[in-house]
């Protein structure tokens, strides 16, 4: 009997101690971001990142691809990847979404927003813009220029380069000569001009 009483008392004591250690879900042992903490010497709950830490997918070690500039800080003219038909078509799609409202579909600068009072951008077909480096056009898309806002948040780096490729195609379409057409294709062009009434 005494043994049963001792065991019962012991069980009761364990239950009482266990109840005193109770922790509810709403009272969790954690640090809430930006709240002070006495645990660390600097009184901050958030710990600084280890020097040199780079978030996954954010290394951005290809300077030309991500900035349009070379190691010397000057704009590059080379595309960071091959310009294919698919790249130009992607550039056309992105251009029509983000650029045409101001620059219009031909790049002349008479988009719908401009017709409603927004500042007129320069035509892509002026000599100055035909002669700028490709990296410069990329930089303007990413960082804006003058009245043009930046589109870094809306247009990914690869799409910025695709838009630059399409702008170059637009410029060529408005400023090409017969010498820009491959010799073997000039006969087709002449036939189309004759069929169209010599235009």
List the single range of 29-33, 70-74, 151-155 with lowest mean pLDDT. Answer: 29-33
167 sits in which H/E element: helix 157-175
Residue 31 is assigned to a structural domain of this protein: no
Residue 89 is assigned to a structural domain of this protein: yes
Residue 178 is assigned to a structural domain of this protein: yes
pLDDT score of 197: 43
Q: Which residues, 6 or more positions from 125, have their beta carbon under 8 angstroms from its beta carbon?
A: 107, 108, 170, 171, 174, 175
pLDDT score of 40: 85
Kindly list the distances between the CA atom of residue 150 and the CA atoms of 53, 113, 116, in Å, as whole numbers in the listed order: 27, 16, 21
pLDDT beyond 50 at 196? no
Residue 122 is assigned to a structural domain of this protein: yes
**CATH number for the domain that contains residue 160:** 1.10.760.10
Residue 53 is assigned to a structural domain of this protein: no
Residue 60 is assigned to a structural domain of this protein: no
pLDDT score of 160: 98
Residue 161 is assigned to a structural domain of this protein: yes
* Count of the separate structural domains present in the chain: 1
Kindly list the distances between the CA atom of residue 128 and the CA atoms of 61, 92, 136, 171, in Å, as whole numbers in the listed order: 31, 22, 12, 12
Q: Which two tokens stand for residue 53?
A: 């830490």
pLDDT score of 184: 87
Residue 119 is assigned to a structural domain of this protein: yes
The 10s digit of each residue's pLDDT in 136-187 is: 999 999 999 999 999 999 999 999 999 999 999 999 998 888 888 888 888 8
Q: Tell me the DSSP string of 135-162.
A: HHHHHHHHH-BTTBPP-TTTS-HHHHHH
Boundaries of domain holding 155:
75-195
This prediction has a pTM of 0.70
């Amino acid at each position: 009997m005494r043994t049963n009483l001792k065991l019962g008392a012991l069980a009761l004591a364990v239950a009482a101690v266990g109840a005193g250690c109770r922790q509810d879900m709403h009272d969790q042992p954690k640090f809430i971001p930006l709240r002070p903490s006495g645990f660390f010497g600097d009184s901050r709950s958030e710990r600084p990142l280890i020097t040199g830490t780079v978030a996954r997918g954010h290394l951005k070690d290809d300077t030309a691809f991500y900035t349009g500039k070379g190691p010397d800080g000057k704009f590059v003219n080379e595309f960071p990847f091959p310009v294919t038909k698919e790249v130009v078509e992607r550039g056309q799609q992105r251009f029509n979404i983000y650029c045409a409202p101001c620059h219009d579909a031909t790049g002349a600068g008479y988009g719908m927003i401009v017709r409603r009072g927004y500042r007129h951008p320069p035509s892509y077909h002026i000599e100055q813009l035909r002669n700028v480096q490709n990296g410069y056009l990329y930089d303007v898309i990413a960082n804006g220029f003058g009245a043009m806002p930046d589109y870094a948040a809306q247009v990914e780096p690869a799409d910025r380069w695709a838009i630059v490729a399409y702008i170059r195609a637009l410029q060529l379409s408005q400023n090409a000569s017969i010498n820009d057409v491959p010799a073997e294709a000039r006969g087709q062009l002449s036939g189309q001009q004759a069929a169209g009434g010599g235009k």
